A and B are shown apart, each in its own frame.
Chain A
Amino acid sequence: MSRSTSTRRAPILAIYATVVFAFIYLPIVVLILYSFNRDGVGGFPPSHLTLDWYRQLFTDGPIWDSVLNSLLVASGAVALSLTVGLLAALALDRASFPGKALFRRLVLLPLILPGIITGLSLLMFVVLSGAQLSLFTVFLGHGTALISVATTELFAGLQKSDRAQEEASLDLGATPWQTFWRITLPNLRLALVAAGLLIFTLSMDEIAVTFFLIGRDNTLPLEIWGRLRRGITPEINAVSTLVFAVSVVLIIVWYRIRMRSVGTEAQQLPERP
């Protein structure tokens, strides 16, 4: 990269970028700030610092039930979408079958279609099958919709990995089964962890599909949604702040993993012709 073009100063652009950043961060800052405000959400400036809303939150049974439900659904969705997504990525990378192009597009549809369409389609399917709406249908919906994310990430991982390594493994006497467990999967482990984290976060936050598939037990976003109708309280700010904090921790984990992978790739680069 040329030093001259990358460090040239552009003061007007810099100011504009700062404004955009302010716009992006304003709601988040407001949210966190007012979760510590004794007089509730609204009014300016925020006055008395308090942890009351957090105290209230920790004794709020339904919220924690919904958090548990969300964790259950998200863990299941990660397992389901990674399993099917891994096979789908392998199939797209290595097999050729009739309708492959269609399959590729179909898998990706939930990623690019509005959630309401996927959610309603699945609702019709559940109703047709005669099943009851429950956390299980939510898990099924999340898992299926997020196969798109798993397939995209893992397919990219497969494309980056060196095919010669699998050939080397077969060449050294390993069966395809051994090669899959000893070479293919370990080579994909970063993509697997990254996809898993992403799917987990997306599932924890999913609302459009969940909206139509939910039964009696709420996930966290739907619990919050339900409370918003009854009016806004700083307790929601408090739980949102906690969700934000967990997200930030996950981001940091994700970057650690990514930096590590980038690091090893960088080390290998000079050896490659």
Chain B
Amino acid sequence: MSCSVDSSRIDRHRFEIIAFDWDGTAVKNREVDASAVTAVLEELLKLGVTIAVITGTNFNNIDRQFSSLIAGPHKQNLFIGANRGSEIYGFDRNSVPVVLFRREATAEENQLLDRVAEVVKSDIERRSDLIINIIYDRLNRRKIDLIPEWEKPPKSRIGELITRTQKRLRDGGFKEGIGGAFDLAVKRSREQGLADARITSDVKHIEVGLTDKSDSIRWLITEIARRQNVSQADFLVLGDEFGPIAGFDGSDFHMAVPEPEGITYVSVGKEPNGVPAGVLHLGGGPACFMKLMKRQIGLRRRLAVTDDPSFLLVEEGFNPLREREIESLFAVSNGYLGTRGSLEERNRHSGTATLIAGVYDSDGPEGLEQLAISPDWLYTRIYVSGRPLALNARTMVEHERTLDLKKGVYRRHWRYRDKNGRVTSIHFLRFVSLADPHALIMRVSVLPENYSAMMRLETGMSECEGCRTSLQPVAEKGDSILSLRAKTSDGGINVSMAQRTRVHQGSIDVKRKVRIEDGGIFEDLSWQGEMGRLVTLEKYVSVYTSRETADPLKSASSHVNEIAGRGLTELLLEHIDSWEERWESAGISLGGDPSARRWLNFSIYHLISAGNPHDERVSISARGLTGTIYRGHIFWDAEIFTLPFFVFTHPATARAMLMYRYHTLPAAKNNAAAAGYQGAMFAWESAESGQEMTPKAVLSSSGEVVPVTAGELEDHIIADIAYGVWFYWNATGDTGFLLAAGAELLMETARFWVSRSKKRGDSYHILRVEGPDEYHDEGVDDNFYTNSMAAWNIERALEAAAILKRSHRDEWSALSARIGLKAGELRHWQTLAAKMFRGAETQSGVIEQFAGYFSLDDLDIHDYEPKTAPLDVILGHDRTVKTQAVKQADVVMALYLLERELSGEAIRESFNYYERRTDHGSSLSPAMYGLVATRLGLLDKGLAYFRRAGRIDLANNMGNAAGGVHLAAMGGLWQQLIMGFAGVRAESDCLCMYPRLPGKWTRLAFKLHWHGCTLELEIIRNRVIRLKLEESGEVPVRIFGCEVQQLAAPGTFSSEWKAGTWGEFTPIPGRTGSLDGRKN
């Protein structure tokens, strides 16, 4: 008998009460070993599910086979409805059975039952030569045995039982058969004065009783579902005999009580005559029952908090000083939109913000764009007896926030005690769907623990206090949908939100009112709260903007209906599925260092949250969608620090990020023209338009005007973008991108550098720039990083041109025409790149950061430790520029990015030189030094930098995450792991690697995408690299220092550590399946 659970949606619904028939449903019969099904049901009990057995037999039979095998506090969730509706047993905290309900027949009722059974027996015997038995010793019922010679017919032989019983009756002379016997029992009961007789049959018997299974179900509804305030929709009833058998209702049909709506009824029986309307027939018998129960366990686990602590960010208590920092760390984002981890009810420490990628607003006379803060969709406040609950040390009994990094779900548990000792327990859950970017979901459950009082819950969408960019919400009242339209203050973009709520109030009457105010639109839900009775609200919000649709309000309203219809569990499962898919591709398994695992998971969570593969008009800003301090501006952080993560784990997002640059190309060309250059001069700080968003000057805290030179001088971003383009092309081989956008980006950036370079003597120089080291911000000449990256940019443009000329002649012609390429231009570029001044070197091979750097005052950064601020703050700007103090990786950045162009000696000597002079006054720096250190084999040093980078946001005494998390540092951390410790290099002809793990790390495993193929790598420190190639074709791979190998996919290969180095890859014969790269 098959079990069609897979084709139903039933295993996507989380049931709170599961009631079922025992014999034939949960077990084959009452003799079999029930330990397996007991173990599964016990697990459900432990997960808080109410389990009820509804049986015709007595309690002892069920207890012997099932309930006696269970012990523990969870057994209090178990109930046995025995004797066909006449008894309910529960269990106390010591697991001792307790009778909770018993129907006691009166002497008169017992006499009546005897009489009815005897009359029926006598009727049948009189009209036939049959012997009919009566079983008297049953509570509140009598069993008329129609086939005494077959003592215990198994359920599985129901068909045979029907045939034999019918034959016996008819052959014996009772032509009406089983149905006739049943009808006779009904008739005689009525005649004898048994008013509400319950006549049932399991074919072998006709039972005449005072109760049936419907009484057990009704008791559960009244005493359990209502008391726990469980909705009927979360009540599952299973049986095996709902459908008619031999002309009368199946024994489980009585469990399908008509009055409450929404209970799910499932039959796992054979049901030869079908099932009544409203019952889902799955078939499959006890095996199917078991499968369903296991699915419920799986579903609950899936919906629950991840059990791996390295995926959990937990904040206990409440420290108002850290509140804005916590909000950033606990932000939930999906690339389209991000919401900070603010308290739903807000307080004076909150920096509530919801930010939508690409929704910029401009402010001030300079017209600088900044990400607009959208209306607050979280706002929810709870009132007890009219008084709002507010979080503070005095009233807080418990307060814990958890961000599940694996599933992208934020949870908050808050127990509040008022001055009268009344304790309220509140659970919040929220997520912004990764599966459906416009869907924002929240759930709040309120439980008065020790009191009953009038409760009110106010929830809506509103302006948030302290928003620096003002939006203008216009509330519109709908029927069940609340909607709100807002505009950015410059009127450029409409943001619309729509809200629907669903309340799970069980039997509690919740009144709903809609309230519209200037600042937003709210629903007020009020009810008479009863001690121990939970009320749960689900809030569905949909967001659309005029960036995506002409009528965002209409889209939001229609969408919110759709998502509310799907329900929270379904949306959460889809969201979790999406996160799982991303972790499957981006997850890291690291053995031996739980802290490092946590830093990595935290970083990867925020990186995934920041990227949006669906929108080519946005990229990843410095703090993503977790905070406002960088105004949502996009820097070189995007291409150099975060892009590689996406290239290797989610190329679609990387492509969208680069397409953002392509769409801002016109502005970049205007920027170049305005500055007197050719080609594309991308803005140092970019927003929607691509125009320069760096202010020319800012006011210091003491009112002093401080010039900002980065927008004018940090031209290296132009080559950084080209680097990102080439990196993506190299790793993906996405020809479509190269033809549509990549080549043009490379050509126009190269053209900028050509116009930016000055010829002095026989070489070309780039004058008056600012490298990544912003301590020297007054314009330096021949910054090594800038010059080298510029030359590299030109060379890659030439390479792209050669590819197009060779393989895509039509596209090349079109591109040449589009960009107005002049005859001889490429030749000039080639000459210029070859003659670009790449910096002076000392005798020992140290590269000079910029012209004249070596003649500055020397210092050793360690002489200034400890200190509470970056060195330029301690020394002052004027002094700092005269020293060799370096803010962040500058030459060292080039040692990483342009490794192939530099000698090993230059890399080693330069790293050692600059390390002593680098202050790491930027969060971008530690991971880059760590990466180069690791590649140089300085593993302890590399690990120290890795720790430093990992703690940038997670240390609780830094405070610098208040304005948002440091995404570039996170991307840097990931790069240090993959490009540093694993030694991965994306080369033009292959993927290269050379892992070196620090002593503490035992194992590292991860996946990478390379030219459409998935590579799964497992590194066991100083023992073996295992490489699994999925898909098909040949994958060029190289161990650093060895020749390129063409490895055939699919297949698994290994490289062994011998004599202090890795050997070439050799196939592992017969190895299939995952390398199990998730085990730590």
* A and B held together in a complex: no
